[in-house]
Amino acid sequence: MDGHLLSVARRVKGFMPDAEGQDLHQAGLEGGRLGPLLEIGSYCGKSAVYLGSAARAAGTVLFTVDHHHGSEENQAGWEHHDPEVVDPRSGRMDTLPFLRRTLEDAGLEDFVVAVVGESTTVAAHWGTQVGLLFIDGGHALDVAMADYDAWARFVLPGGILAIHDVFEDPADGGQAPFEVWQSAVADGFTPISTTGSLRTLRR
């Protein structure tokens, strides 16, 4: 991956270890041959840099969907809370300004389209098939499964489904993404890679 993009990805706030980001980038290069890339869960744009860099190289774009008010697990009092992303005016989380700065610093504004809204609402009005779908939104079981149910149908034949934070052992983390992965396998997606908690499958 381009050195400048890699340094931006590494310094941006977020939840994507570099090895997983690089695997995601590879998956993006592959999926990008078939169609655009789509991410659920932008946060401050860390994974969007790994994927956006792949979109640029593949001659396509990344759509990244988030309401930018944080998941349950990002709220005050929870493990993944960062007070710097709270908007003092409303007292609510707002990560959109951080995402915009990340894309500007990375020089990826022409290749990454921020879609601001609730994931399943966007999906209900969506129509474009994608070469790669990356699910990294809310990690509560109902939320993660709703993302899968709403978006999996848009993955093109031969396209890639990537799921983050998949932990087989409950001691390592929440089980919702693992349940989503199991549903995908049951639905006929073929597992292709595991890097840390990132799993990819092919339709």
Q: Looking at the annotation, which residues are catalytic? A: 139
Give yes or no for residue 20 binding Mg ion (CB under 5 A).
no
Give yes or no for residue 203 binding Mg ion (CB under 5 A).
no
Backbone angles phi, psi at 120, to 5 degrees: -75, -25
CB 182 within 8 A of CB 145: no
69 makes contact, choosing from ligand SAH, Mg ion, none, with CB < 5 to 8 Å by partner type, with: ligand SAH
19, containing H or E segment: helix 18-31
Backbone angles phi, psi at 165, to 5 degrees: 65, 40
Give yes or no for residue 81 binding ligand SAH (CB under 6 A).
no
Number of other residues whose CB lies within 10 A of the CB of residue 105: 16
> At a CB cut-off of 8 Å and minimum separation 6, what does 130 contact?
31, 35, 36, 37, 38, 63, 154, 155, 156, 159
Number of other residues whose CB lies within 10 A of the CB of residue 69: 16
| Number of chain positions touching Mg ion (CB under 5 A) | 4
Number of other residues whose CB lies within 10 A of the CB of residue 182: 13
Binding string, 152-171, against Mg ion, x = CB under 5 A? ------------xx------
175 makes contact, choosing from ligand SAH, Mg ion, none, with CB < 5 to 8 Å by partner type, with: none
138 makes contact, choosing from Mg ion, ligand SAH, none, with CB < 5 to 8 Å by partner type, with: ligand SAH
Binding string, 140-169, against ligand SAH, x = CB under 6 A? ---x--------------------------
Give yes or no for residue 113 binding ligand SAH (CB under 6 A).
no
Where on the chain is the footprint of ligand SAH (CB under 6 A)? Answer: 14-16, 41, 43, 46-47, 65-71, 74, 95, 118-119, 136-138, 143
